[in-house]
Amino acid sequence: MATLLLSAAGAAIGAGFGGTILGLSGAVIGRTIGATLGRVIDQRLMGSGSEPVDVGRIDRLRLTGASEGAPIGQVWGRMRIAGQVIWATEFTETVRRRRSGKGAPKPRVNEYSHSVSLAIALCEGEILRVGRIWADGNEISPRDLNLRLYSGSETQLPDPKIEAVEGAGRAPAYRGVAYVLIEDLDLGSYGNRVPQFSFEVVRSAQGPGVEPGSTLAGAIRAVAMIPGTGEYGLATTPVHYADGPGRNRTANMHSASGLTDFATSLRQLGEEMPAVGSVSLVVSWFGNDLRCGSCELRPKVEQKARDGVGMPWRAGGIGRSAAQEVPRVEDSSIYGGTPADASVIEAIRAVRGCGKEVMFYPFILMDQVEGNALPDPWTGAGSQPKLPWRGRITLSIAPGRAGSPDRTAAAEAEVARFFGAARPEHFTAVGDTVAYSGPEDWGYRRFILHYARLCAVAGGVDAFCIGSEMRSLTQIRGAGDSFPAVDALRQLAQDVRQILGPETKISYAADWSEYFGHRADGNLYFNLDPLWADPNVDFIGIDNYMPLSDWRDGEDHADAGWGSIYNLDYLRANIEGGEGFDWYYDSPEGALAQRRLPITDGDHDEPWVFRYKDLRSWWSNLHHERIGGVRQTSPTAWVPGSKPFRFTEFGAPAVDRGTNQPNKFVDDKSSESGLPAWSSGRRDDLIQMQYFLAVTSYWSDPVRNPVSALYGGPMVDIARAHAWAWDARCCDPR
């Protein structure tokens, strides 16, 4: 290029002098001189064919954050830190030689690239994991680095790269210091320098005073995987939507991990909660009416315009085009769609592939939006509450209201319509696809039996719940005070057993206010006992959100003597004590005044029949119903101590005084939204942690948790108490 420019400039200058020299004009002489000078410059820049051009070569390596004597930081919880470089190699130079350009001879070009290996100390003590990584402020995928993590244990060994460079026996292990070793880091992407790294570090409480069960990482041994919606939220296969030519939108990859959101979440679960051995996999269909005889349960999608590339959506025996859409409010879906069957299969296999058990947990989400025209069976209003709890599904007119079909054959008919007529033989599998050939109803049996067959296709699951928290449904009485929904659940348990076989543990996840019995019209029923005693049911499932505190403002309330709501002894004292065990409130006014009324049974000295917290007495005694106030001579089918309790859900909200009412949650879209009693609404992660520590430590004590003489296991299977919840949407910005 310089040859061309300077020859042209020389010709212009020479022409200005005019005349000739040896017959050569001034323009020719000027062009020759300019071309000669330009060629010299070009050869210096581009090479002449014998002298190569060096591209990208550096003369020295620059490291940042490598000061001697810098302190080693301490981390508690989750923090983003930069760390300190504690070891590095000299940079390695690699040259790639090639010829480039036009003409002959072509100049040689040496392209240099440089790499370096370095160790970066993160913090003192042992960490759980390193999550996200940033280089110069930009998040990068750990997969793009040849990275090894040393967690900071007192037994960690020297890194082989350091040992290879320093020599055998001369490499430090940096015990007690968590660090990462990045091997052969390519510097070209960072301007031929080591970038400023920062790391998301997760570290649990530790030290001589910390017992294994006194941290969440050690105490939680099972989790519920939510949200139960998201068309591809459970997939391990990347899926995207094609929005147009060259415009793709990811459906399930929202981080730099290089994995899908579910796979990333599952990996984080293994790293942060190493004691977890069981995962409850929540999968939702949508109910559209609180009147059981009118309620349909369907799988639904967020939109029907585009299918997922890499995994076409299919669930419940239908594809996207045949599915209904989830209702929208302000042009936004109120929920994600039902997970595609293929994604459910992938999730089951992935969880079990990690060495964890799977409890399959089908979940009903009610999708009535505000302003619907559905009669409310509880109040008679012309519209049902928005997004209500599934536990409110009842008769066309709820029991206790005038005109209710409760205690009649009409109630049995409504329950039968809710369950539908699907049978196990209506579900067949071809490869990983489950087809349905039964009658065109969207009843509850189709919902449950579809997933039983899908779980079998996936290779089986360790436990399967045939439903959860359908409290009002299981309390419906038919003619002769039968409980038709309980009978239907027993039949469903038998059919699921037929599909999944004897190795799968089967049960129903009752609400904590439902599992122990039902009082109505002066009668005391153990309405779920036929289900709990059924040979196809293996455990008593409880979604346990029982209150563990009654904390108020000030220093003169009834529990102030405990000093603090965070006092673990206080919370533990309310597991088999306090409200629901020792006393109750009979009205909001009584609760305001803390007028505590004792729970007693003067007639038969069996106060435990009224105590929802008295698991021990319920489990270890015969159950005698009381009809018209008369204690029945013959007990129910329940055999004392015959099956364990499992907390299919348990937890408390991370909000001020969350243990006062652990069943409360805040969701402005739902009519069920509310704060725990006496809560300010302030976020409080500590009370949630103390709740989990109190419950797990209490039932882990063998003195409090007796072993059954019939099955040889503890009364409460705390190893399979599923904490609510772990989120599969770890990275999804929605």
Cα 89 to the chain's mean position, in Å? 40
Residue with tokens 């729970």: 599
Identify the weakest region by mean pLDDT among 70-84, 297-311, 369-383.
70-84
Distance CA 263, CA 351 (A): 9
Question: What pLDDT digit, counting tens, does each position of 398-433 carry?
Answer: 999 999 999 999 999 999 999 999 999 999 999 999
**CA nearest neighbour of 726 among 311, 389, 354, 178:** 354
Q: What distances in angstroms separate CA 283 from CA 230, 390, 429, 504, one per listed residue?
A: 9, 14, 19, 18
Distance CA 273, CA 671 (A): 33
How much is the pLDDT for 435?
98
Mean pLDDT of 72-97: 90
Distance CA 132, CA 145 (A): 12
How much is the pLDDT for 71?
86
Tell me phi and psi for residue 57, to 5 degrees. -90, 140
Between strands 332-333 and 328-329, the pairing is antiparallel
Residue with tokens 């153990």: 526
How much is the pLDDT for 448?
98
Q: Mean pLDDT score of the chain, rounded to an integer?
A: 91
Give kind and range of the element (H or E) at residue 344.
helix 341-353
Tokens of 109: 């070009």
Buried b (16+ CB within 10 A) or exposed e, 141-173: ebeebebebbbbeeebebbebbbeeeeeeebeb
Distance CA 240, CA 488 (A): 40
The residues near 612 (Cβ < 8 Å, ≥ 6 apart) are: 512, 513, 515, 516, 546, 580
pLDDT at 16 > cutoff 90: no
The 3-class SS string of 693-727 reads: HHHHHHHHCCCCCCECCCCCCECECHHHCCEEEEE
How much is the pLDDT for 97?
77
Question: What pLDDT digit, counting tens, does each position of 219-273 carry?
Answer: 999 999 999 999 999 999 999 999 989 899 999 999 999 999 999 999 999 999 9
**CA nearest neighbour of 598 among 570, 579, 617, 616:** 579
Tokens of 681: 């609404």
Question: What pLDDT digit, counting tens, does each position of 651-681 carry?
Answer: 999 999 999 999 999 998 999 999 999 999 9
Mean pLDDT of 19-46: 55
How much is the pLDDT for 49?
47
% of the chain with per-residue pLDDT over 70: 89
Mean pLDDT of 624-652: 97
| Count of residues making up the chain | 734
DSSP state of 291: B
How much is the pLDDT for 632?
98
Mean pLDDT of 106-132: 90
DSSP state of 670: S
Residue with tokens 């062009």: 31
Distance CA 344, CA 283 (A): 8
pLDDT at 187 > cutoff 60: yes
Query: Are the beta carbons of 639 and 710 closer than 8 angstroms?
Result: yes
Distance CA 320, CA 113 (A): 50
Cα 287 to the chain's mean position, in Å? 23
Tell me phi and psi for residue 77, to 5 degrees. 85, -125
3-state SS assignment for residue 630: strand
Distance, first Cα to last Cα, the chain:
54
Between strands 92-99 and 147-150, the pairing is unpaired
Q: What distances in angstroms separate CA 405 from CA 189, 408, 491, one per listed residue?
A: 73, 6, 23
Distance CA 336, CA 116 (A): 45
Distance CA 641, CA 711 (A): 8
Plot region of 24 (φ>0 → left; ψ -120 to 50 → alpha; else → beta):
beta
Cis peptide leading into 121, omega within 30 of 0? no
Query: Are the beta carbons of 383 and 372 closer than 8 angstroms?
Result: yes
Tokens of 343: 């994604």
% of the chain with per-residue pLDDT over 90: 82
In this predicted model, which residue has the larger pLDDT, 22 or 493?
493
How much is the pLDDT for 70?
82
Cα 20 to the chain's mean position, in Å? 88
pLDDT at 61 > cutoff 50: no
Amino acid identity of residue 60, one-letter, is: R
Question: What pLDDT digit, counting tens, does each position of 427-463 carry?
Answer: 999 999 999 999 999 999 999 999 999 999 999 999 9
How much is the pLDDT for 108?
80
Amino acid identity of residue 552, one-letter, is: R
The residues near 535 (Cβ < 8 Å, ≥ 6 apart) are: none
pLDDT at 8 > cutoff 60: no
Where residue 587 falls among pLDDT bands split at 50, 70, 90? very high
Q: What distances in angstroms separate CA 42 from CA 35, 39, 99, one per listed residue?
A: 10, 5, 15
3-state SS assignment for residue 175: coil
DSSP string for 57-98: --SS---SS--TTPPPP---EEEEE--EEEEEPPPEEEEEEE
Tokens of 57: 């070569």
How much is the pLDDT for 446?
98
Tokens of 497: 């057993």
pTM: 0.88
Longest CA–CA separation in the chain, Å: 138
The number of beta carbons lying within 10 Å of the beta carbon of residue 431 is 6
pLDDT at 722 > cutoff 90: yes
Distance CA 262, CA 252 (A): 8
**Can you point out the beta strands (E) in 125-216?**
129-135, 138-140, 147-150, 177-186, 197-203
Query: Are the beta carbons of 527 and 627 closer than 8 angstroms?
Result: no
Residue with tokens 């533990």: 572
Amino acid identity of residue 670, one-letter, is: S
Distance CA 258, CA 562 (A): 49
How much is the pLDDT for 206?
77
How much is the pLDDT for 66?
66
Beta partners for 403? none
Mean pLDDT of 303-318: 97
Tokens of 688: 């949630």
Question: What pLDDT digit, counting tens, does each position of 275-295 carry?
Answer: 999 999 999 999 999 999 999
Helical H runs in 409-567?
A: 409-419, 444-457, 471-474, 484-500, 529-532
Cα 239 to the chain's mean position, in Å? 19
Tokens of 564: 């603090």
Distance CA 732, CA 250 (A): 10
Tokens of 627: 């009809």
Binning the chain into helix, strand and coil, the percentages to the nearest 5 are: 25, 25, 50
The Cα angle at residue 324 between residues 322 and 328, in degrees rounded to 5: 150
